[in-house]
C-alpha cells in the first residue's frame, strides 16, 4: 500500500490533512468544496499509480482529472475575483475555449494512449492570467488588507507560481526531460518544487481562513 505513495502524493496528502483540520467547520461553500478537492487530488495520484502498475498506462486517469482541476480552479478564481470585476464575462468564454480544446483533442486522439497536454497548457495559461488579474485588482484596492493572514492572497499566490512555472516547463519539456542520474531529471525536480510551493501556500491559506473565520465570530 505504502509503495503507491510518491513524494508528490505525500505532499498532497499533507495539504489535504490541513484542509480537513482547518476547514472542516467552515460553512462557506468554496472552502467545503476545497476539502473535497484536496481529498480527490492525492486519491487520483494513488489510483493512477495503481492503474499504471496493472495496465502499464494511466493516462486516462489524468485526462479525466483535468476536468476536475479545471472546474475547481476556475470556480476558485470566480470566488476571489467577483468582488473586483464582473469576472463571468472572462471566465465563461475562457472556459468554453478550454472545453472546446479538450473535446477536440479527445475526438482526434486516443485518451487512453495520449495525455491531453494541449488542454492542460491552455488551462495553465488561463490560470496564470486569472492570477495576475487578481493581484492587479488587489494592488488597486484601497481597503486595508493584512496580507500575512489573507487566505485568498496565499491561495492565489501558490496557484500563480505553480501554473506559471509549469507553463514555462512545458515550453522546454524536451530539454528538462534529460536525465541527470538514474531516474532523476530536471523535470522531476521542477515539478516537485512547484508542488511544494502550491500545496505549501494552500496549506497556509487554510490556516489563514480558520483564523479569519474565528475573527468573524
Grid coordinates standing for 149?
493572514
* Burial of 162: CB neighbours in 10 Å, binned 0-12, 13-18, 19+: buried
Tens-digit pLDDT profile for residues 107-119: 999 999 999 999 9
Question: Higher model confidence: residue 167 or residue 130?
Answer: 130
101, pLDDT greater than 80: yes
Confidence bin at 154 (pLDDT 50/70/90):
very high
Confidence bin at 186 (pLDDT 50/70/90):
confident
In the chain, the number of structural domains is: 1
Average pLDDT, the chain: 91
Q: How many CA atoms lie within 13 A of 39 on its CB side?
A: 10
Kindly give the interhelix angle for 88-108 and 117-140, rounded to the nearest 10 degrees: 170
pLDDT recorded at residue 179 = 61
Closest CA to 121 of 87, 181, 169, 83: 169
Is the distance from CB of 10 to CB of 53 less than 8 angstroms? no
Cα(58)–Cα(51) distance, integer angstroms: 6
Cα(156)–Cα(33) distance, integer angstroms: 16
Range of the domain at 102: 2-216
Q: What is the mean pLDDT of residues 171-183?
A: 61
pLDDT recorded at residue 8 = 85
pLDDT recorded at residue 126 = 97
Q: What is the mean pLDDT of residues 151-180?
A: 83
Compute φ and ψ for 25, nearest 5 degrees.
-95, 0
pLDDT recorded at residue 184 = 65
pLDDT recorded at residue 214 = 78
Tens-digit pLDDT profile for residues 8-41: 889 999 999 999 999 999 999 999 999 999 999 9
Confidence bin at 153 (pLDDT 50/70/90):
very high
Tens-digit pLDDT profile for residues 68-98: 999 999 999 999 999 999 999 999 999 999 9
Amino acid at each position: 500500500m505504502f509503495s503507491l505513495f510518491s513524494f508528490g502524493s505525500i505532499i498532497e496528502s499533507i495539504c489535504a490533512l490541513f484542509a480537513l483540520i482547518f476547514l472542516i467547520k467552515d460553512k462557506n461553500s468554496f472552502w467545503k468544496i476545497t476539502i473535497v478537492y484536496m481529498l480527490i487530488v492525492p486519491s487520483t495520484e494513488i489510483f493512477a499509480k495503481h492503474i499504471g502498475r496493472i495496465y502499464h498506462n494511466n493516462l486516462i486517469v489524468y485526462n479525466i482529472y483535468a476536468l476536475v482541476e479545471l472546474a475547481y480552479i476556475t470556480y476558485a478564481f470566480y470566488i476571489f475575483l467577483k468582488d473586483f470585476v464582473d469576472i463571468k464575462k472572462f471566465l465563461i468564454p475562457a472556459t468554453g475555449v478550454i472545453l472546446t480544446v479538450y473535446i477536440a483533442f479527445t475526438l482526434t486522439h486516443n485518451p487512453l494512449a495520449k495525455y491531453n497536454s494541449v488542454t492542460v497548457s491552455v488551462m495553465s495559461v488561463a490560470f496564470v492570467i486569472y492570477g495576475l488579474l487578481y493581484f492587479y485588482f488587489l494592488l488597486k484596492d484601497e481597503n486595508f488588507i493584512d496580507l500575512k493572514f489573507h487566505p485568498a492572497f496565499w491561495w492565489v499566490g501558490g496557484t500563480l507560481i505553480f501554473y506559471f512555472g509549469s507553463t514555462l516547463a512545458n515550453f522546454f519539456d524536451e530539454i528538462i526531460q534529460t536525465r541527470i542520474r538514474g531516474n532523476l531529471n530536471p523535470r522531476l525536480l521542477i515539478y516537485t518544487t512547484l508542488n511544494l510551493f502550491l500545496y505549501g501556500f494552500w496549506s497556509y491559506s487554510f490556516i489563514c481562513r480558520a483564523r479569519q473565520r474565528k475573527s468573524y465570530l
